[in-house]
Copies of this chain bind each other. A is one copy, B any other.
Amino acid sequence: MREVTFLEAIRLAMWEEMERDPNVFIIGEDIGRMGGAFGVTEGFLARFGPNRVIDAPISETAIIAVCVGAAAVGKRGIAEMQFIDFISYAFDQVVNVAATYLYRSGGKTPMPIVIRGPSGGYVGGSLYHSQQYEAWFFHVPGLKVVQPAFPDDAYGLMKAAIRDNNPVLFFEHKYLYRRIKGPIPDAHEDYIVRLGEARIRRYGNDITVITYGAMVHFALEAAQRLEREGISLEVIDLRTIKPLDMDTILESVRKTSRVLIVHEAPKTGGVGAEIAARIVEQAFEWLDAPIMRVAAKDSFVPFAEPLEKFVLPSVDDIVAAARELAAY
C-alpha cells in the first residue's frame, strides 16, 4: 500500500500503464517539459521520451484526433485537456469520431482512448475553469464516463480506462487533487477497478444517496452530521457514470425506499435526471417519497465567492434535502 494524493494516484496509474504497455502515449498542452498545468504528468517526458509524451499545440481537436488516428492503428492515447472545459473545442472528435468509430467499422476498429482533465468548481475558477458537463457525454452511445472520488478508485479506474477498448472520459475533480489523500495498492498488485461498478462508501438504512466525484465527500460529511440526528444515509459512489451501475442503486433503494441524488452539474438535464427516471421506471413500488436532487442551480459557475457558493451545491444543501426526505 502507498499513501498518496488523488493527483498522485492518477499520475502513478498512467506511469505504470506506460511502463507496462509501449503502445500507451500521452498528448496535451504543456504536459511534457512542464509536466502539465497541475503536474499530473511530471517526469513523463524524461522517462518516456517525446514520441510517447507529446507537447501539443493549442489544438484540442487535433489532440483528440491524434488519439483517434493512433487508436485506429492499435495505439492507446491519453489526451489531457488542460481544463476539461476546453473539450468544447474538440466536441466533434469526441462524440462523432471517437464514440462512433467501432460502430462505423462494423466492430473491427476499437477506439482505446482516455480523455482526461481537471473538472469542477469550488476554487474560484469561474465559467471556463469549473465545468462539470459529464451529462453531454453520458447521453452519447459509445462513450464511457468516469469520475472518481478517492485515490484508490482514481488509480484503479485510470488503469482500467487505459486498458479499455472504448473512449473513456475521465473527469478529475481539481478540488480533490491535493486535498484528498489515501492508500493505493502497490504497483505489482496489478490492481484495477472495473468500469461500470459503483461502490458503497457508507452503509445506511434511511436514505440512499447516489453521487460521484467531489460530491461523495460532501455526502459523507452530510451523513456524519445526520447520524447525530438519527438519520442514516447510505452513500453510493458511482465512480463510473456511464455505464451506470443500476444493480447497486436498485439494491439500495429497495432497502431505503428514499433516494437523494447529488451532483455538481446544473440540475436540469444532469445525470441525476436519468438516475431518477430509471429508478421510477424500475422501482416505482419501492419508493416511499419523491426522489430528490441536490445539484448546481441552473447557472454557469460564477467567479466571486458569494456567487459561486450560491450556485454550487453544499453540504448544507444535502443535509437539508435529506432531512426533508426523512420527514416525508
Contact = CB atoms under 8 A, between A and B. Distances in A.
Contacts of A299: 103, 141
A263 B187 CA distance: 47
A128 interface: yes
Contacts of A287: 284
Nearest to A244: B268
Interface in A48-68: none
A106 to B, nearest CB: 11
Contacts of A305: none
Given A139-B268, A274-B268, A292-B281, A92 B88 contact: yes
A264 to B, nearest CB: 13
A304 to B, nearest CB: 12
A300 B103 CA distance: 8
A203 interface: no
Nearest to A97: B88
Interface string A241-277: 0101000000000000000000001101111111011
Interface string A121-152: 00000011000010110111110000000000
Contact of A300 (B85, B100, B268, B281): B100
A255 B133 CA distance: 36
B88 A96 contact: yes
B141 A266 contact: yes
A290 interface: yes
A81 B192 CA distance: 43
A268 B266 CA distance: 17
Interface residues of A, number: 47
Contacts of A268: 138-139, 242, 244, 274
Nearest to A288: B284
A289 B96 CA distance: 37
A103 B298 CA distance: 13
Interface centre among A140, A265, A271 (most CB of B within 10 A): A140
B269 A139 contact: yes
A89 interface: yes
A244 B91 CA distance: 26
A280 B276 contact: yes
27 contacts: A88-B92, A91-B91, A91-B92, A96-B127, A103-B127, A104-B127, A133-B140, A136-B136, A138-B269, A139-B266, A139-B269, A139-B270, A141-B266, A141-B300, A242-B268, A244-B268, A269-B269, A269-B273, A273-B274, A273-B276, A276-B277, A276-B280, A276-B281, A280-B280, A280-B290, A280-B291, A281-B290
Given A135-B135, A281-B292, 16 more contacts: A88-B92, A133-B139, A135-B269, A139-B268, A140-B266, A141-B299, A141-B300, A142-B300, A242-B268, A273-B274, A273-B276, A276-B276, A276-B280, A277-B293, A280-B290, A280-B291
